[in-house]
Structure 1
């Protein structure tokens, strides 16, 4: 490890001198999120650089070599072994060096920069009927550079193998800043002036291989998933001195890869998915050799803990299509003819039934079920990290592999080893390739727990080697396993690894502490015992309160995905790590830790990290470990501004339920006032953007007429909670909701004058929110157990989740248990056989983020389809307004950037279809985006209203 003096100012000045325009960030607000990846480790870098070109990379490496400063290359930061954290300078390739440079369909190759996300490449190649074979579960956010660094594989590695098998050439920068191309015949300089240096480097490597032929031939390349160490066998004479593939899996310790030419595979024309149930993962492993005879493209396994957690987190319908069992295999077969593939699937199922280990098996026909099942498997690492019982598990031995025929025996002995140490593990992984992922309930926060962890990992290394296996099957050795390489390899092989690195990196500046001269596996562990923090929210699902809540983030990084789900809108808009859910969670962890961030709740760095969080709550559902950044932000704002002057918008927008109630008594003059110059002045004084039109207030008279009309004869089966937004801006929705519910057999009594407290929560005014909520709970928990139906999804979500978690009382929970959205009421409470009035065939839908996150399995899109709408074009993602966020002057641009992701394109292509948006924020954003076009978002109740043209219900 370097002992260079830390001279950040000098280093950044030097980089600026030789790379003008290069962005380099320092300070805890910038470096804190980069201290972590998806592993157990934390190493705070000194600076983070964001190169745009290979020349920028050259400049960074030359400046760092002059100063003796280490460099760590980083892609999506999804590494689970501590491969992407380090002292010195971190190079983030994902921000700018993420371009697809060329696709050659005839040659079936693509040339890409290493920051490109795998799914972006796959989306581009799919247009040509091609794909990149390796497909890690993190495909929506992992980069090609990270895959190259770790020699990643994926769910279909039975067919497609490892990344190294698909690399044709790598464009690299050496530790001393020389650009070269490594291909399948050697190493070549980019600049002819560097020919001498590159030729000497290659000659040194050739001598090293010639001197070590025997150990390289006998110790490397023994099983398909042998990723540990360096792949020096690629350089053997019989393998053609394949320098490109030898550098794959070196984890950034030998050179920095800036671009790659990769080979593509043809997309299969036909496929079938079988789900197979077993009593036990060992039974499942016993069947793998027989399954492999049928040439599957994927054989994936998992145990019951992952499935149970998924159902709790995302609803009971989130996992369908599994047969009876406590462990499962997914087996995918592919080919050119669907009938032939189906016949193979049926034959395989018959063969496995005859083996006698199956508890059940089926071919999954439904595309929706297939997507659901693959999502469970892909979220395995996150789901296993925080299980349904609240238990935590950690990586460290998540990646070992054996030959598939040895898998059952290895698993049997491995579970005995776990038991002997008093540990339990959640098992899943690539059973067809003999690679098992496991997260284990280590206790890395205590000295005793770390000692147990070290003993276990040492014995596990001995165990897997005794079964002919490897420490790492795809994640790399990193900080987690590099120290254990001496258990797997001879001293001569270890010396050869060291010599190989020394040839490329004589000063040891590239990702030091990994593979060669490894750091102790229990050094730099992120987790430690921390004091509990007093908070307003109770955080009932986390045993250590706020500390345990922010610790939920283990770096999986699904929040960095550009598509799928709703999380994280601000990251999708800016592309900045600090604006991701993970980046914010890491800053909160730094705050609780109290080292780099030392001013606790008063931290401006943490406030800045949270600033662009829209509080959409999507992460509480989409994040595999259930991070709820909206709640964490509310708690932080409450603590940060305690006893201090707040931003103006916290008063103008946070107190909107009160001010809107007063405005209703003089709605017409107030609306006229707000439309003129004085209104714009008031907006500026209140911290509200003047680029939006303030929604018109409804009069109290209109509200009274609506509530009178909303009363239905006879005994009411439910309460219709008339929330502050419906009351103040669109009382007609309450009338429509009452009529639709009555038509569906759910007669309601309107309940006005109460508030959920949402606006005070979102602005962090939790003391006020508690008073408002306590009053509401006292009025609703009066012995009445009828359902409470809320037309506004955000208010329903606040009553369902925020109220019990902030008040922490049994009464609050009783109220929460009764709460339904309008969609949920029609789904769960409507009379059997109810049919609505005729509906349009096609609808554009904007689902409210809070409804999406909180009311799992009760989505408007599903209801509309069941009611007969043929096509529901859902703008999947946040509308961008998000309550107070999009009205705040400083957030307007981000709000519009988020709207551009999904909602605005659908409005631009509307073509006369009705737009449905139950959320008031969503409807307001749609009105703003529509401009002069005659587009008005309908609440679902208005779409279903049997008497749509009711008099006296407008302002």
Structure 2
């Protein structure tokens, strides 16, 4: 970016930019609010650059108009997809265009021609879903496939796990629909570059002439310096403009990182899906040993050769339990080798030959063919979550990108890794290694210390030495992530001055005023400028009620767990983030909320704990806790929201629902003295008035209260002294009292006689509404009573999953006593307690052959995603149709008047489709009370609702 444009943009305010955009294109959604600028100040890199404004175009015309305005005002413009860049190429100081919000259509699929035309904001998984019925796929498959966009993949020339087979994105492009810096519309295809209309013809013809001149003046340098190894992404790919390569503008634009033109749509080439595929998992003592075997493996024409070390596996198991990684062979480093072909038997035979050859080579510790689909998915998830998992390891160590993307020729990989590890040791750093070993591309995150001047100086010194090392091995600074802000300054280590001048001329031809994503590739900003932690506020972290046991830096460290990989932006797989899946708005993603919190804690959002911007960002968080499990770095937004609400409303009036739903255990206990009267009032004309006063929606039926002793009826008479406690929660006591007896009977039959307690509370409703003082007092009493020595010393079984999760997770973080920690360790969900009995040999008398399963989000997050599903399989239930996702009620959220619409939109994602597809009479299993209420609301009164697992298994004898 030139100094002239820097001074120009400095004179334009956010308000002036917004006004100009609204005058030029009134239909364009533009947001200059502090919250929106906070959410888009970050990507997945080390950098922070708050923009002037964020816009959400719906089509190419709006994109072109935005370019015209920025060109006229001299405002930098950055196009953005999922915002998952680890190199800092998706943030900018001017206007950020988020193409992922609306421009995400798969416009056309031509199965016969094996092509598809898509908008730039199309998510890769959505494209794959659209072409899968035709037996086709888009070859490149980055680990971020569930949220990365085609436009972003083009910008980085992304590759992915199967790049050994399919190469880079640029190889699969047929045509690109472009907007140039001044708003000119153009199309690049295999025939060259042409203007969309007559008004842009002169500009495009001049551009083509300039590009040909650059190539003609640099023929020798381009031929010798570019395209030397498969993953040479660093710099511009000018070799595609050579005469012998047909002046391929499409390929030359791949990997330009939004610095030359904005892609608004693309026509891409598709490939047939292989009929047969097989994963071979190989174990090694060391990643260098694994790399030594890569050339041998490549002789077998694999589709993928991916590598990872033991630190990633340890972190996955630490975060998601020992069962989250299954099927790995013995070793401390591993390779995943995907083989494919037309015939399953031939592919299997090829895999056996590969194992034989590797055994003869003598470096492999063990290897196996992974046949089971669940094991394959488990293994691939470790690799796909690598960037997030490596950011916060099992010992709590934080690591950072910056040198996460170097590549060498595959036959140089082992030598490079050997020297690279020595370099890490010399600089007294530690790192986690993983990557696309079959393509020679190594991802690593290192424990840089960017908060201090000394740490930043050490970071710069290492990156400079690392650049020299990879160049010495004939490699490239970037193999797929792009150079961005992290490595562009180091291009002078990799390329000589004539090549850098050619890059500058290429950039200038496309973008003469230097407004498109400035500071990247050409005229780069220093790599240690604009670091997020460098500019962080130095104020002491505010004290919190939650202990945040895994974050020694308190709430500041907790919010900073988010490193921007954006898994919360996925629309499939896992459970997080239900509100983002409903709205598609970055503000409602876990990442958007975390970034807003980070800005608040930095002091860059007004109000501190009283910040209205932060409250708005957190408003649609359902507190489902799924992010604490699904997020690779374990962001627990439910806890952070609770903490924020505690401070935000301290000594201030709260929303009505905090008093009605937040204090529900108290109101339920009082209603238990006169349930008939209370129910009559609720069902009268006064009911809706009371609901409105309490901030409760009138569009949802409310449950009826039961008498305070009703839950005691039907409790099992233990044949032996109680060995466990059955904690009957407030929801069960008040609204489904028959469940207590069913649970008691099933546990007794399973060999776990219990003592039922109905006088205690987990404080959940006070926790979720941020009334933490009350919650802590309630929990302290519960912990003290349950820890009394005269009671049963065995497990504490809780019928309601959310209450079990509160006692297991929130109790020790809110109550700092040994009693609280002992009680938390004894807590079991009902299905968890039963599974222990099943493992010991118990089986129920009879079970249905088929169920629809809705796992409560808190159970999913705290006790494991598969706890209940695995139990049902152990019980030999033949067909389990799982509604993988949040039900939408999530405690008080779905009952609140202002959240009803979002609650129902969340239910549409998984629960309603599963209910509608289920055969009549199929049991719907939902242990959570809120889940049962949503099911009842969805199916209406003419169909059976959901039941608890205890009721499913309870068979009372006459």
- Structure 2 match to 1:859: 867
Question: Of residues 30, 33, 42 in structure 1, which corresponds to 2:39?
Answer: 33
- Structure 2 match to 1:750: 756
Aligned mates of 2:670, 2:288 — CA distance in 1: 67
Deviation at 1:699, TM superposition (A): 1.1
Aligned mates of 1:704, 1:350 — CA distance in 2: 65
Question: Of residues 4, 7, 19 in structure 2, which corresponds to 1:3?
Answer: 7
Question: Of residues 944, 954, 957 in structure 2, which corresponds to 1:945?
Answer: 954
- Structure 2 match to 1:791: 799
After superposition, give the CA deviation of every residue in 1:594-615 in whole Å (9 maximum; x if it has no partner). 12x1321010000000000000
- Structure 2 match to 1:91: 97
**Residue 502, structure 1, aligned to residue 508, structure 2:** yes
- Structure 1 match to 2:427: 421
User: Pairwise mapping of residues 73-84 of structure 1 onto structure 2 (< 5 A)?
Assistant: 73-84=79-90
Note closer, same or farther for the CA distance 1:108–1:946 as it changes in structure 2 (3 Å cut). same
**Residue 639, structure 1, aligned to residue 647, structure 2:** yes
Whether contact under 8 Å (2:397, 2:447) holds in the other structure is: yes
- Structure 1 match to 2:672: 664
- Structure 2 match to 1:589: 598
2:674 aligns to what SS in structure 1? helix
Whether contact under 8 Å (1:710, 1:734) holds in the other structure is: no
2:45 aligns to what SS in structure 1? coil
Whether contact under 8 Å (1:175, 1:254) holds in the other structure is: yes
Give the TM-score taking structure 1 as reference length: 0.98
User: Pairwise mapping of residues 376-455 of structure 1 onto structure 2 (< 5 A)?
Assistant: 376-455=382-461
Note closer, same or farther for the CA distance 1:711–1:634 as it changes in structure 2 (3 Å cut). farther
Whether contact under 8 Å (1:746, 1:830) holds in the other structure is: no
Aligned mates of 1:168, 1:560 — CA distance in 2: 28
**Residue 679, structure 1, aligned to residue 683, structure 2:** no
Deviation at 1:911, TM superposition (A): 2.2
Give the TM-score taking structure 2 as reference length: 0.98
Question: Of residues 870, 873, 876 in structure 1, which corresponds to 2:881?
Answer: 873
Aligned mates of 1:193, 1:77 — CA distance in 2: 33
Question: Of residues 562, 574, 581 in structure 2, which corresponds to 1:565?
Answer: 574
Whether contact under 8 Å (2:161, 2:436) holds in the other structure is: yes
Deviation at 1:829, TM superposition (A): 3.4
Whether contact under 8 Å (1:744, 1:831) holds in the other structure is: no
Aligned mates of 1:397, 1:704 — CA distance in 2: 62
Question: Of residues 701, 713, 719 in structure 2, which corresponds to 1:705?
Answer: 713
1:860 aligns to what SS in structure 2? helix
Aligned mates of 1:857, 1:612 — CA distance in 2: 23
Whether contact under 8 Å (1:483, 1:521) holds in the other structure is: yes
Whether contact under 8 Å (2:710, 2:733) holds in the other structure is: no
- Structure 2 match to 1:717: 723
Question: Of residues 878, 891, 906 in structure 1, which corresponds to 2:914?
Answer: 906
Deviation at 1:533, TM superposition (A): 1.7
Aligned mates of 1:901, 1:882 — CA distance in 2: 14
Aligned mates of 1:446, 1:701 — CA distance in 2: 61
After superposition, give the CA deviation of every residue in 1:396-417 in whole Å (9 maximum; x if it has no partner). 0000000000000000000011
- Structure 2 match to 1:556: 565
Question: After the TM superposition, which of the residue ranges 764-773 and 824-833 deviates more from structure 2?
Answer: 824-833
Aligned mates of 1:305, 1:136 — CA distance in 2: 21
Deviation at 1:800, TM superposition (A): 0.1
Structure 2 unaligned residues grouped into runs of 5+: none
After superposition, give the CA deviation of every residue in 1:131-174 in whole Å (9 maximum; x if it has no partner). 00000000000000000000100000001000011111110000
User: Pairwise mapping of residues 267-306 of structure 1 onto structure 2 (< 5 A)?
Assistant: 267-306=273-312
Whether contact under 8 Å (2:725, 2:794) holds in the other structure is: yes
Deviation at 1:831, TM superposition (A): 6.9
After superposition, give the CA deviation of every residue in 1:586-634 in whole Å (9 maximum; x if it has no partner). 0000011112x13210100000000000000000000000000000000
Deviation at 1:748, TM superposition (A): 0.6
Aligned mates of 1:781, 1:858 — CA distance in 2: 29
Deviation at 1:808, TM superposition (A): 2.6
Aligned mates of 1:41, 1:480 — CA distance in 2: 9
- Structure 1 match to 2:520: 514
Question: Of residues 916, 926, 929 in structure 2, which corresponds to 1:917?
Answer: 926
Aligned mates of 2:806, 2:661 — CA distance in 1: 17
Deviation at 1:869, TM superposition (A): 1.1
After superposition, give the CA deviation of every residue in 1:272-294 in whole Å (9 maximum; x if it has no partner). 11111111000000000000000
Aligned mates of 1:404, 1:90 — CA distance in 2: 37
- Structure 2 match to 1:953: none
Deviation at 1:550, TM superposition (A): 0.6
Question: After the TM superposition, which of the residue ranges 479-488 and 2-11 deviates more from structure 2?
Answer: 2-11
Question: Of residues 487, 497, 508 in structure 1, which corresponds to 2:493?
Answer: 487
Aligned mates of 1:508, 1:831 — CA distance in 2: 66
Question: After the TM superposition, which of the residue ranges 738-747 and 807-816 deviates more from structure 2?
Answer: 807-816
Question: Of residues 816, 823, 831 in structure 1, which corresponds to 2:831?
Answer: 823
Over aligned residue pairs, what C-alpha RMSD do you find? 1.1
Question: Of residues 528, 531, 538 in structure 1, which corresponds to 2:547?
Answer: 538
Deviation at 1:513, TM superposition (A): 0.3
Aligned mates of 2:719, 2:651 — CA distance in 1: 50
User: Pairwise mapping of residues 315-326 of structure 1 onto structure 2 (< 5 A)?
Assistant: 315-326=321-332
Deviation at 1:30, TM superposition (A): 1.2
- Structure 1 match to 2:259: 253
Aligned mates of 2:675, 2:771 — CA distance in 1: 27
Question: Of residues 201, 226, 233 in structure 1, which corresponds to 2:232?
Answer: 226
Deviation at 1:858, TM superposition (A): 5.4
Whether contact under 8 Å (2:306, 2:434) holds in the other structure is: yes
Whether contact under 8 Å (1:132, 1:263) holds in the other structure is: yes
Deviation at 1:649, TM superposition (A): 0.4
1:205 aligns to what SS in structure 2? helix
Aligned mates of 1:754, 1:473 — CA distance in 2: 57
Whether contact under 8 Å (1:112, 1:259) holds in the other structure is: yes
Deviation at 1:703, TM superposition (A): 2.3
Whether contact under 8 Å (1:827, 1:858) holds in the other structure is: no
Whether contact under 8 Å (1:561, 1:572) holds in the other structure is: yes
Aligned mates of 2:643, 2:681 — CA distance in 1: 35
- Structure 1 match to 2:940: 931
Deviation at 1:908, TM superposition (A): 2.0
Whether contact under 8 Å (1:212, 1:496) holds in the other structure is: yes
Deviation at 1:517, TM superposition (A): 0.3
